[in-house]
Amino acid sequence: MPRRGNKLYEGKAKIVYETEDPHKLILHFKDTVSAFDGLKKERLRGKGSLNNTISSLLFEILESRGVKTHYIQKISDNEMLVWRAERFPVEVVVRNVSAGSILKRLGLKEGERFKKPLVEFFYKNDELHDPLICAEHIEALGLAPVHAVPLMKETALRVNEILGELFAKQGILLVDFKLEFGRLPDGSVGVVDEISPDSMRLWDSRTGEKLDKDRFRYDLGDLLEGYREVLKRLS
């Protein structure tokens, strides 16, 4: 059982700890939820465990399908062991259905299905509010290796295919999701951070009920109830 070392970083939803192995880290999922750049936040007991369990399950599925990630194993209710990665300050968003920030940006109505998955890049920078960028921006600013950009897009679409099919079988529509990437100890590029209802939009395929963090953002119902429903169907 790996032991926690020094705390490397603490964010809104997770704490990162060193371990005795310099190539491995522990991600601790906190019981906090926030939205709108931290303007709205709350502590919900059990939220960290739900996100850790869902993320671990999805990472295991992706790994079994050949997708490279930083995931090693779930080690407790709120913690997973991961490979240490040089994280790129880029968020890759895949959209299947219009929702969220793209509605105002492009004048769309919520719920419009795109003809094919739409991939967008965002500069992960709190001070700038994570602006939309293109591949040329990533290269010009040195945010990620040039060869990694098409790989990130290709991987994101592959993840969309795998998870879209998985959720569809459980009566859930994968509306959109965010991925982060980094360089792993072996030099390869893989998916890092988490994959949970915090970082994706999930709607009940029949009723349209939102089962993700939008429940908290827009006061649409009990957040934990939605997350528990996602885990129940996946399990």
Tell me the CATH number at 56. 3.30.200.20
C-beta separation of 18 from 8 below 8 A? yes
Residues 133, 214 within the same domain: yes
Asked whether 55 and 72 are in contact (CB, 8 A), the reply is no
CA distance 164 to 176: 10
Cβ atoms within 10 Å of 54's Cβ, excluding its own: 23
Residues 155 and 118 in one domain: yes
Q: Could you say which of 30, 48, 83 is where a domain stops?
A: 83
How many structural domains compose the chain?
2
Per-residue pLDDT tens over the stretch 9-60 = 999 999 999 999 999 999 999 999 999 887 899 999 999 999 999 999 999 9
In the structure, what pLDDT confidence band is assigned to residue 67 with cuts at 50, 70 and 90?
very high
Same domain, 125 and 192: yes
What whole-number distance in Å separates Cα of residue 213 and Cα of residue 186?
34
Query: Which amino acid is residue 215, in one-letter code?
Result: R
Residue 235: burial class (beta carbons within 10 Å; 0-12, 13-18, 19+): exposed
Work out the end-to-end distance of the chain between its first and last CA atoms, rounded to an integer number of angstroms. 25
Dist CA 106 CA 26 (whole Å) = 39
Per residue in 192-234, pLDDT (tens digit) is 999 999 999 999 999 999 999 999 999 999 999 999 999 999 9
Element counts in the chain: helices (H) and strands (E): 6, 13
**Among 51, 83, 115, residue at a domain's last position:** 83
**Residue-range definition of the domain harbouring residue 75:** 7-83
